[in-house]
């Protein structure tokens, strides 16, 4: 068996990365694609590797040099018109060699797990394509399979139909072609196709024609959970570096993305905190039905969106301001906050990170579960001369919850002391008796005009992609100032429409919250069976867990990511947590996902 690597392309979409090198010379985490690929091929019993070069071909030849002479025989072929042709011509250049042996045909802009070459080499089928179930990031040639894994059609970009994606597989661009197949089928069709259509085409088009003959000579081998990526642009490179990061860098690569994990569809995200049971299918259907209009029309400005937010959340227009996520409102709020401010740690760091460190007065609960009460806060801050007090309720990551009646006592105490109280209740709808725990009502806001209430809609309503949050207070002057600080068009049309239709779906939301509370209790009981976790009680949609010796949090997080494709949060270094202990924060997802996570943790325990 031999291998043919197609490496003649220019890789324009990679910009500066391919200014002086071909695509396969691009490094991923410090290792060039060509070195990774040749190292994988060298482990097989191959007669030779033929690399078809074109753009910057001489640089590639010099780079490879004789470094692999003791591992594998390497030959080169050249596509002199790489800038005027496509990969069908690169393959046609070596069609004679293609017919001399069974062949692995591989494109050079791929990165994939070490298991995939042995997977295709050792499979008994002589003509085989590695394929992956369609995911949203994939582009290029798709195929359809029958029940016996025969490729019955190749789907070109022009023929791609989003209504059919459930039946699509993406070609990984790693093929095994038998010598007989190349001689009797592929090369004759290749010659005829290029003569009729030209050389600015793709070699898969020839396979497509052969598949239409219904002879079922080309089969597919789905790769399942094996990792791979095709690197066409800078974003692809960034994702590939996360997928194939070394253990010492893997958490930095993932955590540093701050979301966007839909680009890793097979991964379960247990870091970011959203309601797993809302929006309902019915609400999603209504959003889909209006997608074209919402995409192509301008959203309303601040005045109209304030009116809609008022209707949606039951707060007077003069008391509420909607934001492009709570993050936008936090930034504006903290920028206009002055004087010493009380913070509780551990907590959501966006607030203290936005504030002068020298003006922060920090309370840390003196117990191993990080519980605290309103009375604890009043006692600690009584002599601290603070101007503001920041309370997240339930708190993040501890899950600590102060009952509504006690929060109102704290608000009254703050008013008597001349302290402005800021309460972030983004997670309050996950608490037991959630329907009675919110502070968002005119009556409460008017009774405590020194209090501001922040709420991220992303979390409890399960719509982080909409970027929606609200801030409410009976301090009309401050609310008016904040409205002037944010953009007049700070919300997109989808966020506006969500607020517009929410009240129709409010009963579904209540059912979702009820279902969540039950699921959290079940999940907590299962987490408590894991011997190396000490699980702390929570009224939010996550649990703070101490990781017990002999394990560390980073070991657990990396193991779960590498072996189960589940991303959890190592928060051992979070300010306020005991620096001599190890901690994880584990989100609560739906029952199926939670079961998968617990099974993964039990694997470690075994």
Residue 422: give its domain's CATH number: 3.40.640.10
Note the pLDDT of residue 265.
Answer: 79
Beta partners for residue 76, in sequence order: 51
Say whether both 476 and 553 belong to one domain.
Answer: no
Note the pLDDT of residue 426.
Answer: 97
Among residues 405, 492, 486, 420, the alpha carbon closest in space to that of 453 is found at 420
Say whether both 217 and 246 belong to one domain.
Answer: no
What token pair was written down for 149? 């894994």
Q: Is the pTM of the predicted complex or chain greater than 0.85? A: yes
Region of residue 462 (phi > 0: left; psi between -120 and 50: alpha; otherwise: beta)? left
> DSSP H helical segments within 344-475, as ranges?
350-353, 374-381, 404-417, 442-447, 457-461
Confidence check: pLDDT of 248 > 90: no
Say whether both 559 and 591 belong to one domain.
Answer: yes
- Say how many CA atoms lie within 13 Å of 205 toward its Cβ: 20
Count of helix runs (H) and strand runs (E) in the chain: 24, 26
Examine the fold and report which residue of 486, 506, 526 is the final residue of a domain before the chain moves on.
506
Note the pLDDT of residue 411.
Answer: 98
The whole-number average pLDDT for the span 119-140 is 93
What token pair was written down for 437? 């725990």
Q: What is the sign, positive or negative, of the torsion defined by CA atoms of 572, 576, 581, 585?
A: negative
Say whether both 189 and 312 belong to one domain.
Answer: no
Among residues 251, 224, 220, the alpha carbon closest in space to that of 148 is found at 220
576 — pLDDT class (breaks 50, 70, 90): very high
Task: State percent of the chain over pLDDT 70.
Answer: 100
Q: Domain range for residue 313?
A: 281-506
Note the pLDDT of residue 330.
Answer: 96
Confidence check: pLDDT of 112 > 80: yes
The answer to whether 199 touches 88, Cβ cutoff 8 Å, is: yes
Residue 363 is classified by DSSP as E
Q: Look up tokens 């300010």; give the residue.
A: 575
3-state secondary structure of 503: helix
Say whether both 36 and 129 belong to one domain.
Answer: yes
The answer to whether 446 touches 474, Cβ cutoff 8 Å, is: yes
263 — pLDDT class (breaks 50, 70, 90): confident
Examine the fold and report which residue of 467, 486, 506 is the final residue of a domain before the chain moves on.
506
Say whether both 309 and 423 belong to one domain.
Answer: yes
Q: CA angle, corner 413, sides to 338 and 390, nearest 5? A: 40
Say whether both 235 and 255 belong to one domain.
Answer: no
Give the number of domains in the chain.
3
Q: Give the Cβ contact number of residue 527 at 10 Å.
A: 19
Confidence check: pLDDT of 216 > 80: no
Say whether both 214 and 137 belong to one domain.
Answer: yes
Residue 131: give its domain's CATH number: 3.90.550.10
Say whether both 170 and 293 belong to one domain.
Answer: no
Say whether both 143 and 203 belong to one domain.
Answer: yes
Examine the fold and report which residue of 455, 476, 506 is the final residue of a domain before the chain moves on.
506
* pLDDT digit string, tens, across residues 283-332: 999 999 999 999 999 999 999 999 999 999 999 999 999 999 999 999 99
Confidence check: pLDDT of 215 > 80: no
What token pair was written down for 413? 């105490």
264 — pLDDT class (breaks 50, 70, 90): confident
3-state secondary structure of 209: helix
The whole-number average pLDDT for the span 477-496 is 95
């Amino acid at each position: 068996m031999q291998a043919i690597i197609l490496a003649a392309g220019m890789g324009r979409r990679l910009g500066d990365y391919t200014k002086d090198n071909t695509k396969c010379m691009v490094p991923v985490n410090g290792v060039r694609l060509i070195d990774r690929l040749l190292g994988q091929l060298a482990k097989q019993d191959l007669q030779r590797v033929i690399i078809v070069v074109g753009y910057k071909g001489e640089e590639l030849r010099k780079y490879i040099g004789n470094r692999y002479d003791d591992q594998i025989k390497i030959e080169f072929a050249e596509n002199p018109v790489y800038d005027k042709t496509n990969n069908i011509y690169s393959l046609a250049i070596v069609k004679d060699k293609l017919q001399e042996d069974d062949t692995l045909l591989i494109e050079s802009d791929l990165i994939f797990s070490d298991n995939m070459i042995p997977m295709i080499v050792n499979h008994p089928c002589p003509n085989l394509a590695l394929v992956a179930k369609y995911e949203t990031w994939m582009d290029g040639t798709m195929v359809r399979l029958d029940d016996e894994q025969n490729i019955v059609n190749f789907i070109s970009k022009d023929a791609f139909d989003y209504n059919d994606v459930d039946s699509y597989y993406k070609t990984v661009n790693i093929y095994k072609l038998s010598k007989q197949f190349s001689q009797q089928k592929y090369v004759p069709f290749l010659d005829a196709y290029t003569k009729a259509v030209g050389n600015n085409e793709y070699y898969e088009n020839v396979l497509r024609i052969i598949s239409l003959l219904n002879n079922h000579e080309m089969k597919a081998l789905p790769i399942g959970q094996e990792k791979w990526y095709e690197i066409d642009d800078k974003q692809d490179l960034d994702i590939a570096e996360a997928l194939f990061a070394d253990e010492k860098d893997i958490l930095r690569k993932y955590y540093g993305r701050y979301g966007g994990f839909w680009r890793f569809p097979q991964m379960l995200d247990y870091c970011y905190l959203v309601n797993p049971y809302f929006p309902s299918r019915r609400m999603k259907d209504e959003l889909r039905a209006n997608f074209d209009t919402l995409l192509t029309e301008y959203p309303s400005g601040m005045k109209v969106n304030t009116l809609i937010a008022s209707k949606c959340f039951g707060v007077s227009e003069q008391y509420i301001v909607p934001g492009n996520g709570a993050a936008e409102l936090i930034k504006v709020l903290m920028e206009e906050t002055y004087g010493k401010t009380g913070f509780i740690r551990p907590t959501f760091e966006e607030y203290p990170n936005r504030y002068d460190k020298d003006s922060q007065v920090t309370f840390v609960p003196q117990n191993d579960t990080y519980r605290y009460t309103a009375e604890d806060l009043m006692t600690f801050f009584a002599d601290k001369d603070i101007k503001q007090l920041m309370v997240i309720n339930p708190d993040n990551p501890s899950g600590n919850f102060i009952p509504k009646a006690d929060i109102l006592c704290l608000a009254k105490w703050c008013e008597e002391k001349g302290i402005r109280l800021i309460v972030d209740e983004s997670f309050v709808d996950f608490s037991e008796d959630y329907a009675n725990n919110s502070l968002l009502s005119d009556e409460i806001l008017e009774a405590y005009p020194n209090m501001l209430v922040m709420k991220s809609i992303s979390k409890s309503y399960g719509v982080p992609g909409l970027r929606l949050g609200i801030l409410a207070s009976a301090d009309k002057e401050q609310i008016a100032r904040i409205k002037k600080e944010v953009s007049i068009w700070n919300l997109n049309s989808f966020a506006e429409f969500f607020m517009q239709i929410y009240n129709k779906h409010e009963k579904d939301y209540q059912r979702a919250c009820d279902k969540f509370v039950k699921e959290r209790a079940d999940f907590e009981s299962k987490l408590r069976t894991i011997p190396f976790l000490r699980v702390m009680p929570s009224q939010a949609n996550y649990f703070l867990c101490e990781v017990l010796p002999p394990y560390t949090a980073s070991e657990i997080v990396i193991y779960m990511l590498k072996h189960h494709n589940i991303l959890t949060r190592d928060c051992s270094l979070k300010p306020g947590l005991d620096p001599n202990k190890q901690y994880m924060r584990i989100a609560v997802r739906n029952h199926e996902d939670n079961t998968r996570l617990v099974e993964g943790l039990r694997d470690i325990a075994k």
